Amino acid sequence: MAAGTIFALATAAGRAGVAIVRISGVDAFGVAGRVMSSVPADRGLRQIHDLNGALLDQALVLSFAGDASFTGEPVVELHLHGSPAIVRAVLSALDQAGGRPAEAGEFTRRALENGRLDLAQVEGLADLIDAETEAQRRQAMRVFAGGLGDLAEGWRASLIRAAALVEATIDFVDEDVPVDVMPEVRQLLKAVQVEMTTQVAGVAAAERIRDGFEVAIVGAPNVGKSTLLNRLAGRDAAITSHVAGTTRDVIEVQMDMSGLAVTLLDTAGIHQTTDFVEKIGVERALDRAKQADLRLFLIAEDEALPLPLQKGDLVVQSKADLGNYDGLAVSGLTGDGLDEVVAQLTDELQQRAGSAGVAIRQRHRLAMQGAIDQISTVLDAIELGQLPDLLADDIRHAIRAVDMIVGRVDVEDLLDEIFSSFCIGK
Amino acid sequence: MKHFDVVIVGGGHAGSEAAWIAAQMGASVAMVTLRRDTIGVMSCNPAIGGLGKGHLVREIDALGGLMGQAADAAGIQFRLLNRTKGPAVRGPRAQSDRVLYRKHIQSALASLSNLHILEGEATDLKITHGRVAGLVLADGSEIATSRVVLTTGTFLRGVIHIGDVARPGGRVGDKASVAMAQRLESFDLPLGRLKTGTPPRLNGRTIDWRQLEMQPGDEKPSLFSFLSDSVTARQISCGITHTNAQTHDIIRANLEKSAMYGGHIEGVGPRYCPSIEDKVVRFADKDSHQVFLEPEGLTTDTVYPNGISTSLPQEVQLAYVRSIAGLHDVEIEQMGYAIEYDYVDPRALRLSLELKNCPGLYLAGQINGTTGYEEAAAQGLVAAVNAVRASRDLESITFSRKDSYIGVMIDDLISRGVTEPYRMFTSRAEFRLLLRADNADQRLTALGRDLGIVRDDRWNQFTEKVEAIDAARATLSAMMVSARDIAGTGAKLNVDGPKRTALDALTLTDFGFDELRDIAPETPVLPEKIAEQIKNDALYANYIRRQEKDISAMAKDEATIIPQDTDFAAIGGLSNELVQKLAAARPESMAQARRIDGMTPAALLVIAGYLKKIEAKKAS
């Protein structure tokens, strides 16, 4: 990891109202000071010049001390006029002034290394920047704001309290400690277990919010799947023709449905075929459709479904323009019934997204599952009247699992908890 | 001028152990103490051991130290604490006869022909080229040496407080060391202030023992030394009484007269050993606290009331003590007092206990911010071992957290410093299940032998024990027992499970040698200590297996040395705060760096990356 004072354009490249150049590093003030008369203590308007004194732009300059900045280092921000030429000239001046261009992700990395962000927050930040839909933005914001860290801190505090109770019965045997600590230990452990279980259940939904729900449109050839997809997507994403079996590959169309990222899969018509290429298409279609989050079966008349119906799947009569049907029916050609299908689809997806918590990655889920299992072990051991030193070791392992999410545990924390709670002093 | 390999300043528990160890290693050693007759004196409570502390004593003994045998010789009531809990957290403790203890220490030290004991006050150090070159005494005489171990306890600028009366002193009846404190200050050492307290001492003949609950020792005493077979002193019981609402009223009404609460003391006291004033204030909802009445010996009437240390004025002490059941007519022989003293921030030390800034000068005991005889003695041992080795140009010995409580303590002190007097607890040891009092010899006696401390008698006894354990283990591994038979003894397990070896069956909490013999009469009859050791190892085997990854990770971190001249600011990617902390702590290994307060996993990655880079540079 290279050291030094780094700089980069923090806003998107190109013409814009404002372009922000960020400088971070031990010598950020020194580097910035070489392209302006003086770095303001807080904020101020400054003329930016190159090292020969030529005026480049007039900018709003903000400065942050190391303990108040995003990276944990001194930071100076130049809010320039958003012209590519100005930005280029200022970046070049900063280079000559002793800074160096930042590598990808280097600002965030410094924030992590300086303890300004925990690992979960960095993940949240990455997602926040990548967020395209409103739900993704909200979710990333929750994680970035430390939602998961806060939760883990709470669990950690409860588990440390439980461990401290057990430790107190070990290390302060002749003292005035509570006689039977186990009811409280059990209560603390169970509460954490319940909360974690809720979060684990929400991880799958959170992943869907981040990566998008997959909805497969399934139906026999020429039933109008591609037409429907095109209508939904509002553009010609799939080839539409009247010859059965046109869509040989799986076509994906990404769209934003009421703030949720959705990938619609248009699958090859599902039917018996001898055409080798088409057969591959059919197999692929079945495979993808099975794994999708939701299936939208588009069927004509009373056809049998080509795949078992899963919870939440929609069954839609195709070619509604050719007849009258009860239930969902849609015409890819005229668009009749489309609104109804979209409404049902988003309803279902939003319901699923609603269960998402602040744990949004498999890494989080695995760590929490580990802790949940470990807590079960401890609860069983309490029932069996296991030795307290073994209980304490099991609880420590549960704490370690929680700490996998954001931080780490220390025996000093245990002792602090013991001392703040009990009268100890023989 | 006389020359010694190592000079020990102080004759308390750190100093005595240091002198013993250094002399056992064959060095020429001098001990400088204010008064020869106070060597090995127990200034505070008349007891050795306890939870965590008992582990330390066993470890000192396993290494060939002095404290265990002295405590056994002086023990007048032995109790194994946590007897009903797991063997890993059981702590041997003994009430001691002060006189017997001191005499044992003094005669042991007197028996060493290469140890010279000098009465006098050490006032100054001779420094040549930044290294220790000698010691200067108050009478102006000098001792030539390049290794000094300072064990000055609470004597560095000690101040004794009783109520609003304060006077300098290192212990009641002894003067404080001011000159040495000033000398240390000149080394630009980070000094801090701590306090500790003692209760009033009672005249046992004026206690109404008939009113009190009496607590005898264990029927089968658990001794400290692996060499001891039985107790030698007569055994006694301790009394138990309680403070009451009236006691608390008296204390509350006089709080502002307490040295602590009257604002006379700036030092920080230990949270786990609060004064009675502290207890009454912090735990206002409790109207009673337990008090142990511990006789100080067989030939004295003095009784130590454990649990009511205080710095209240004399008349208040008398009033509250007399409000306690059994003590209505008690006479106080010596008032309780608080003592404030200087300590050196132990982060200024290396793991060898040598000062980073002053090669040749080692610190041990309360001067490093610890409390307790056991903690002091363990440090005396570590300092002496390393001082002697340094005098022979040998590498220093590091005690690891994964091998001993001694290692846990040294690492805690050097990596984290102290914010209150540091004492040992079993919960400080992350590998507690492995570091047991019962296996201290298997963890450390071989090391003690390598260091030249362990004599033949101990070594022979130890190797015999190890052979007996290995043989018994082999036998038990070859015996098979069925799950149904095991369950038949009342042990909880699945009756349909597979057959297992007898050794494996012993991993069950509720299955021991008695149960094994019931279902397998061919079970060998083993000496008690051997059987206990095998059962304990088996009980924790599965947990220890789980810890193995952590243990090897720690071993790797300990082996990753951080050069002492590392410029942390130049590494890059570390926050200013961490750079400052690292520069102050100068960690000797990644294991130590990891334990620095505020250290982040990301920063450790950065440091590890840097170390790899400089290593690669060196290699090319």
Report CB contact under 8 Å: B509, A387. yes
Identify the pLDDT of residue A410.
Answer: 46
**Res. A4 pLDDT band, cuts 50 70 90:** confident
Shortest Cα–Cα distance, B597 to chain A (Å)? 10
Shortest Cα–Cα distance, B287 to chain A (Å)? 12
The CA dihedral of B56, B60, B63, B66, to the nearest 10 degrees, is -170
Task: Give the model confidence (pLDDT) of B45-70 as tens digits.
Answer: 899 999 999 999 999 999 999 999 99
Contacts A–B by Cβ distance under 8 A: 126
Whose tokens are 């910035």? That residue is: A32
Q: B-chain residues within 8 Å CB-CB of A408?
A: 601
Class of residue B197 by CB neighbours under 10 A (exposed 0-12, middle 13-18, buried 19+): buried
Angle of helix B13-24 relative to helix B373-391, nearest 10 degrees, comes to 30
Paired residues of A58 in beta bridges? A47
- What is the spatial distance between Cα B294 and Cα B95, in angstroms, rounded to a whole number? 7
User: Which of B91, B124, B96, B114 lies closest to B40 in space, CA to CA?
Assistant: B96
Q: Tell me the three-class secondary structure of chain A, residue by residue.
A: CCCCCEEEECCCCCCCCEEEEEEECCCHHHHHHCCCCCCCCCEEEEEEECCCCCEEEEEEEEEECCCCCCCCCCEEEEEEECCHHHHHHHHHHHHHCCCEECCCCHHHHHHHHCCCCCHHHHHHHHHHHHCCCHHHHHHHHHHHCCHHHHHHHHHHHHHHHHHHHHHHHHHCCCCECCCCCHHHHHHHHHHHHHHHHHHHHHHHHHHHHHHCEEEEEECCCCCCHHHHHHHHHCCCCCCCCCCCCCCCCCEEEEEEECCEEEEEEECCCCCCCCCHHHHHHHHHHHHHHHHCCEEEEEECCCCCCCCCCCCCCEEEECCHHHCCCCCCECCCCCCCCHHHHHHHHHHHHHHHHCCCCCCCCHHHHHHHHHHHHHHHHHHHHHHCCCCHHHHHHHHHHHHHHHHCCCCCCCHHHHHHHHHHHCECCC
**Res. A211 pLDDT band, cuts 50 70 90:** confident
Give the nearest partner residue to B272 out of A110, A387, A419, using CB atoms. Answer: A419
**Residue B590 pLDDT exceeds 60:** yes
Left if phi > 0, otherwise alpha if psi is -120 to 50, otherwise beta: which for B400?
beta
**Res. A423 pLDDT band, cuts 50 70 90:** very low
**Residue B554 pLDDT exceeds 90:** no
Shortest Cα–Cα distance, A194 to chain B (Å)? 26
Report CB contact under 8 Å: B574, A412. no
Report CB contact under 8 Å: A171, B51. yes
With beta carbons less than 8 A apart as the criterion, state whether A321 and A337 touch.
Answer: no
Identify the pLDDT of residue A232.
Answer: 73
| DSSP calls for B473-524 | HHHHHH-EE-HHHHHHTT--S-TTSPPEEHHHHTTSTT--HHHHHHH-TTPP
Q: B-chain residues within 8 Å CB-CB of A170?
A: 51, 82, 85, 89, 426-427
Identify the pLDDT of residue B57.
Answer: 98
With beta carbons less than 8 A apart as the criterion, state whether A253 and A389 touch.
Answer: no
Identify the pLDDT of residue A2.
Answer: 45
**Res. B173 pLDDT band, cuts 50 70 90:** low
Nearest-Cα residue of chain B relative to residue A403: B601
Nearest-Cα residue of chain A relative to residue B604: A113
Give the nearest partner residue to B85 out of A119, A388, A419, using CB atoms. Answer: A388
Shortest Cα–Cα distance, A394 to chain B (Å)? 9
The reply to whether A68 touches chain B by the CB within 8 Å rule is no
Q: Tell me the three-class secondary structure of B336-400, residue by residue.
A: CEEEEEEEECHHHECCCCEECCCCCEEECCHHHCECCHHHHHHHHHHHHHHHHHHHCCCCCCCCC
What value, to the nearest 5°, has the Cα angle with vertex A153 and ends A150 and A158? Answer: 130
- What is the spatial distance between Cα B531 and Cα B544, in angstroms, rounded to a whole number? 19
**Residue B201 pLDDT exceeds 50:** yes
Task: Give the model confidence (pLDDT) of B74-102 as tens digits.
Answer: 999 999 999 888 899 999 999 999 999 99
User: In this structure, are strands B500-501 and B238-242 parallel, antiparallel, or unpaired?
Assistant: unpaired
Say which range, B136-145, B320-329, B472-481, B611-620, has the weakest mean pLDDT.
B611-620
Task: Give the model confidence (pLDDT) of B133-162 as tens digits.
Answer: 999 999 999 999 999 999 988 777 888 888
User: Which of B29, B19, B17, B95 lies closest to B56 in space, CA to CA?
Assistant: B17
Q: What is the mean pLDDT of residues B528-533?
A: 90
Report CB contact under 8 Å: A423, B306. no
Angle of helix B456-478 relative to helix B440-450, nearest 10 degrees, comes to 140
Interface test with A, best of B600, B606, B612, B614 (most A CBs within 10 A): B600
Task: Give the model confidence (pLDDT) of B359-412 as tens digits.
Answer: 999 999 999 999 999 999 999 999 999 999 999 999 999 999 999 999 999 999
How much is the ipTM here? 0.79
**Res. A333 pLDDT band, cuts 50 70 90:** low
Q: Which of residues 144-183 of B touch A (CB under 8 A)?
A: none
Q: B-chain residues within 8 Å CB-CB of A411?
A: 427-428, 430
Report CB contact under 8 Å: B416, A412. yes
Q: A-chain residues within 8 Å CB-CB of B420?
A: none
DSSP assignment letter at B170:
S
Give the nearest partner residue to A113 out of B51, B85, B602, using CB atoms. Answer: B602
Task: Give the model confidence (pLDDT) of A90-138 as tens digits.
Answer: 988 998 999 888 776 677 767 766 767 666 666 666 665 555 566 666 6
Question: Could you tell me the two tokens for B15?
Answer: 């100093």
**Res. A36 pLDDT band, cuts 50 70 90:** very high
Q: B-chain residues within 8 Å CB-CB of A382?
A: none
Report CB contact under 8 Å: B598, A115. yes
Report CB contact under 8 Å: B602, A390. no
The reply to whether A326 touches chain B by the CB within 8 Å rule is no
Give the nearest partner residue to B427 out of A66, A114, A170, using CB atoms. Answer: A170
With beta carbons less than 8 A apart as the criterion, state whether B353 and B383 touch.
Answer: yes
* φ and ψ at residue A59, rounded to 5 degrees: -135, 155
What value, to the nearest 5°, has the Cα angle with vertex B559 and ends B555 and B565? Answer: 145
Q: How far is CA B472 from the centre of its chain?
A: 33
User: In this structure, are strands A55-64 and A75-81 parallel, antiparallel, or unpaired?
Assistant: antiparallel
Report CB contact under 8 Å: B289, A389. no
| Percentage of residues of chain A with pLDDT beyond 70 | 71
**Residue A173 pLDDT exceeds 80:** no
**What is the pTM (predicted TM-score) of this model?**
0.75
Nearest-Cα residue of chain B relative to residue A106: B573
C-alpha pair distances (Å), B209 with each of A280, B78, B295 = 95, 20, 12
The 3-state DSSP class for residue B603 equals helix
- What is the spatial distance between Cα B573 and Cα A251, in angstroms, rounded to a whole number? 45
Q: What is the mean pLDDT of residues A222-227?
A: 73
Q: Which of residues 221-240 of A touch B (CB under 8 A)?
A: none
| Percentage of residues of chain B with pLDDT beyond 90 | 64
Say which range, A198-202, A263-267, A360-364, B76-80, has the weakest mean pLDDT.
A360-364
The reply to whether B271 touches chain A by the CB within 8 Å rule is yes
Identify the pLDDT of residue A421.
Answer: 46
Nearest-Cα residue of chain B relative to residue A422: B283
User: Which of B233, B242, B257 lies closest to B305 in space, CA to CA?
Assistant: B242
- What is the spatial distance between Cα A201 and Cα A365, in angstroms, rounded to a whole number? 9
Paired residues of A317 in beta bridges? A299, A329
For the ranges A116-120, A367-371, B11-15, the one whose mean pLDDT is highest: B11-15
With beta carbons less than 8 A apart as the criterion, state whether B161 and B146 touch.
Answer: no
Question: Could you tell me the two tokens for A293?
Answer: 């989050």
Name the amino acid, one letter, at B176: A
- What is the spatial distance between Cα B234 and Cα A420, in angstroms, rounded to a whole number? 40
Give the nearest partner residue to A393 out of B85, B433, B609, using CB atoms. Answer: B433
Q: B-chain residues within 8 Å CB-CB of A423?
A: 274, 279, 282-283, 286, 289
What value, to the nearest 5°, has the Cα angle with vertex B449 and ends B55 and B438? Answer: 25
* φ and ψ at residue B518, rounded to 5 degrees: -60, -40
Paired residues of B545 in beta bridges? none
For residue B467, the surrounding DSSP H or E stretch is helix B456-478
**Residue A425 pLDDT exceeds 50:** no
**Res. A259 pLDDT band, cuts 50 70 90:** confident
Shortest Cα–Cα distance, B574 to chain A (Å)? 6
The reply to whether B35 touches chain A by the CB within 8 Å rule is no
Q: Which of residues 371-430 of B touch A (CB under 8 A)?
A: 416, 425-428, 430
The 3-state DSSP class for residue B409 equals helix
**Residue B516 pLDDT exceeds 60:** yes
The 3-state DSSP class for residue B432 equals coil
User: In this structure, are strands A260-266 and A294-299 parallel, antiparallel, or unpaired?
Assistant: unpaired
Say which range, A35-39, A243-247, A380-384, B46-50, has the weakest mean pLDDT.
A243-247
With beta carbons less than 8 A apart as the criterion, state whether B338 and B196 touch.
Answer: yes
Give the nearest partner residue to A388 out of B86, B306, B430, using CB atoms. Answer: B86
Report CB contact under 8 Å: B433, A390. yes
- What is the spatial distance between Cα A210 and Cα A213, in angstroms, rounded to a whole number? 9
With beta carbons less than 8 A apart as the criterion, state whether A217 and A307 touch.
Answer: no
**Res. B23 pLDDT band, cuts 50 70 90:** very high
With beta carbons less than 8 A apart as the criterion, state whether B3 and B145 touch.
Answer: yes
Whose tokens are 């509720």? That residue is: B510
Average pLDDT, chain B: 90
**Res. B257 pLDDT band, cuts 50 70 90:** confident
Shortest Cα–Cα distance, A367 to chain B (Å)? 17
Paired residues of B92 in beta bridges? B80
Shortest Cα–Cα distance, B455 to chain A (Å)? 34
Say which range, A195-204, B170-179, B604-613, has the weakest mean pLDDT.
B170-179
The reply to whether B326 touches chain A by the CB within 8 Å rule is no
Shortest Cα–Cα distance, B331 to chain A (Å)? 22
The 3-state DSSP class for residue B70 equals helix
The reply to whether A417 touches chain B by the CB within 8 Å rule is no
Task: Give the model confidence (pLDDT) of A286-296 as tens digits.
Answer: 887 888 888 88
The residues, ordered by sequence, that sit 6+ positions from B329 with a Cβ below 8 Å of its Cβ are B206, B208, B322
Whose tokens are 């000068």? That residue is: B361
Report CB contact under 8 Å: A170, B426. yes
Give the nearest partner residue to A389 out of B88, B278, B600, using CB atoms. Answer: B88
- What is the spatial distance between Cα B327 and Cα B333, in angstroms, rounded to a whole number? 13
Nearest-Cα residue of chain B relative to residue A164: B427
Q: Which of residues 36-55 of B touch A (CB under 8 A)?
A: 51-52
C-alpha pair distances (Å), B20 with each of A190, A394, B35, B150 = 53, 41, 18, 15
What value, to the nearest 5°, has the Cα angle with vertex B125 and ends B123 and B129? Answer: 165
The reply to whether B190 touches chain A by the CB within 8 Å rule is no
Identify the pLDDT of residue A407.
Answer: 46
The reply to whether B142 touches chain A by the CB within 8 Å rule is no
- What is the spatial distance between Cα A404 and Cα A410, in angstroms, rounded to a whole number? 13
With beta carbons less than 8 A apart as the criterion, state whether B7 and B135 touch.
Answer: yes
Interface test with A, best of B575, B577, B580 (most A CBs within 10 A): B575
The CA dihedral of A12, A15, A19, A25, to the nearest 10 degrees, is 60
Average pLDDT, chain A: 77
- What is the spatial distance between Cα B255 and Cα B310, in angstroms, rounded to a whole number? 11
Left if phi > 0, otherwise alpha if psi is -120 to 50, otherwise beta: which for A374?
alpha
Q: B-chain residues within 8 Å CB-CB of A384?
A: 492
The reply to whether A110 touches chain B by the CB within 8 Å rule is yes
What value, to the nearest 5°, has the Cα angle with vertex A45 and ends A44 and A46? Answer: 115
